[in-house]
Amino acid sequence: MPEAAPVSPASLFAESLLAALVRLGVRHVVLSPGSRSQALALAAAGLEAQGAVRLHVRIDERSAGFTALGTAVETRMPAAVITTSGTATANLHPAVLEAHHSGVPLIVITADRPAELRGVRANQTTVQPGMYGDAVRLMRDVPAPEGATGEADAAADLAAEAVHAAHGMSSGTPGPVHLNLAFREPLSGLSHPERPESPERPERPESPENPENPERVEEPRSGVSKPTPAPMPGPPTYPGRSHLELEHGPRTVVIAGHDSGPDAEQLAHDGGWPLLAEVSSGSRYGRNLVAAYRELLADGRLGGRVERAIVFGHPTLSREIPGLLSRSEVDVIVVAPTGAEVYNPARRDVRVAASVTVANGSRPPVDARAWLGAWVVESRGILDSGQTGPESAPPDVDASRSYLPAERIAFAKAEYAAIHAPVTRRMLVESVWRFTWPNDRLVLGASRLIRDADRTVAGKKIRVHANRGLAGIDGTVSTAVGIALATQGTDAVRPGVTRALLGDLTLLHDVGGLLIGEGELRPNVQLIVGNDGGGTIFDALEVAHSAPPAAFERVMFTPQSVSIESLAGAYGWSYARATTHGELDQVLSAPAAGPSIVEVPLAR
């Protein structure tokens, strides 16, 4: 009886690596199909069959990267994303950069050719080690496994190193890691050397990889000389960071940028200081909140009197915050427990602290309470003065109960007008904010709407996500899908709906994220698309007034007339259109089950 063929070394190594990642807490694996990575894909499928991991398959690697990013953002645990070799690895770069700048743990696993097929123009082969540069916390280029004793243990050690680095235990800041794994044939299953290699990716025919001189391996060289870059000042350096206890005295504001979390609100509350919290800060709530902070900083009557600013997170939504922090008379304290980069746009002397609290027993003096009161009252006045139109006016309940027919008729007319009022940007962001509850998730795209929300919405303690590490529109749909998938089917979270508020260009930039393949879990996600026909965010920039109108229209505004309804139908998403206040409230209060798109036409 013939002996059974041994299991492929690629399969043994892949199974050992992924099993170890699961033991270390990885619960989401996202992969894009390919030949070189087939051992990893099959190992992931096997773990899913055991109930050990949740597997998500995406044909587009960029969508896969941001889907994994979304699951990691929501769970705060590393997610793994798997690709084959070649351009597939480059398509992960935007998600890797966002994970790096946002401090999101991500484990990138790319399959590669073995050493003898590198540098000889073998098909779908490029220089993958180091592709992501300094954006990764760890990079390991792993030689092709041979089936030798100890390789399973080596795979487990590699998994532990990757999870350790992704959590930031070495660098101090969570972020992406890159494991580049070389594999030889047989790429999975049993060892049958005579079996020909299957195509690398179904949609791209593969040429035979039989180089004339397989033993000659060299790095590709470029004949183009690179210009010498102009010298740039290095980033500021900061001494060891410690805890700071602050006394009252200077007129202080607490600034909460993206992903600040509750610490910023707590400090503002304890100190009795105004809280200038961005909409994606996770701190936009509490009695000290100043929603109209941009107007008050620009006005100067209060903003010009600030003597001390304490900064949490990553402010990205205004010019007024960097302007305040650039003033030499303002004492700036940046709360940054870890990380080489510190928010310091003016490149000036600032104090960097690991944490900040108010000195024990310190109570706000009378003038400090007056300082806070002035900010809060002025902010409310600004918001109230901007409330125009029936969407902002509260209903006159007493009129509805009046015995006078004229008052009841007036009430009915006002209610009718409110329901049929056309949707404005302010109405849109306020409605989405109002219908989002603590068990929901809100994702804000890098469009004009996040800034509109930052100007107007009131305080509310809800979970808000946004890709603000680099503030790009890349992968917003996929990120929202990943967040939704991470909240579904878990015992720890009572899942609500994940809403994503984004512009039309942000949707179109990640159309691939709409593709949910057969057999894949369909996310409970509602995309609310403010469609004003292009990039109206540029209308507010100086270029709109200085550029030739025709050129501005084409290369900046980039007008589009895509049928979003047809797009939704093509990808199997539910679709609704909301043009009035009443229609908008209806689709937000009763979202369709599964993936859906709500199109909201907006005037330019």
Q: What pTM value is reported for the model?
A: 0.86
335 against 417, higher pLDDT = 335
Is the per-residue pLDDT at 231 higher than 70? no
Tell me the three state secondary structure of residue 465: strand
Asked if 124 contacts 84 with a C-beta cutoff of 8 angstroms, the reply is yes
Is the per-residue pLDDT at 202 higher than 80? no
Residue 196: which pLDDT band, with cuts at 50, 70 and 90? very low
544 against 91, higher pLDDT = 91
Is the per-residue pLDDT at 212 higher than 50? no
- Specify the pLDDT at position 401: 66
Residue 198: which pLDDT band, with cuts at 50, 70 and 90? very low
Q: If you search the block for the tokens 């068990």, which residue do you land on?
A: 439
Asked if 499 contacts 476 with a C-beta cutoff of 8 angstroms, the reply is no
Torsion, CA 128, CA 129, CA 133, CA 136, rounded to 10 = 110
Please compute the mean of the pLDDT values over residues 132-160 and round it to a whole number: 96
Same fold, 243-385 and 425-601: yes
Sheet holding 106-112, edge to edge: 54-57, 28-31, 79-83, 106-112, 176-182, 138-142
Q: Which two tokens stand for residue 393?
A: 């006016």
Please compute the mean of the pLDDT values over residues 118-127 and round it to a whole number: 86
Q: What is the mean pLDDT of the chain?
A: 87
Sheet holding 308-312, edge to edge: 275-277, 252-256, 308-312, 331-335, 351-353
Is the per-residue pLDDT at 398 higher than 70? no
Is the per-residue pLDDT at 59 higher than 70? yes
- Specify the pLDDT at position 309: 97
CATH architecture label of 243-385 = 3-Layer(aba) Sandwich (3.40)
Which CATH code fits 425-601?
3.40.50.970
Domain borders along the chain are 9-182, 243-385, 425-601
- Specify the pLDDT at position 363: 74
pLDDT tens column, 556-581: 888 899 999 999 999 999 999 999 99
Percent of residues, the chain, with pLDDT higher than 70: 84
Helix (H) or strand (E) holding 362: none
Is the per-residue pLDDT at 199 higher than 50? no
Which CATH code fits 9-182?
3.40.50.970
- Specify the pLDDT at position 209: 38
Please compute the mean of the pLDDT values over residues 320-335 and round it to a whole number: 96
Is the per-residue pLDDT at 220 higher than 60? no
**Least reliable range by pLDDT among 9-13, 179-183, 397-401, 572-576:** 397-401
SS (H, E, C) 133-185: HHHCCEEEEECCCCCCCCHHHHHHHHHHHHHHHHCCCCCCCCCEEEEEEECCC
Please compute the mean of the pLDDT values over residues 107-135 and round it to a whole number: 92
Percent of residues, the chain, with pLDDT higher than 90: 70
pLDDT tens column, 254-300: 999 999 999 999 999 999 999 999 999 999 999 999 999 999 999 88
**Least reliable range by pLDDT among 308-312, 416-420, 480-484:** 416-420
How far is the C-alpha of 339 from the C-alpha of 322, rounded, in Å?
A: 20
Is the per-residue pLDDT at 535 higher than 70? yes
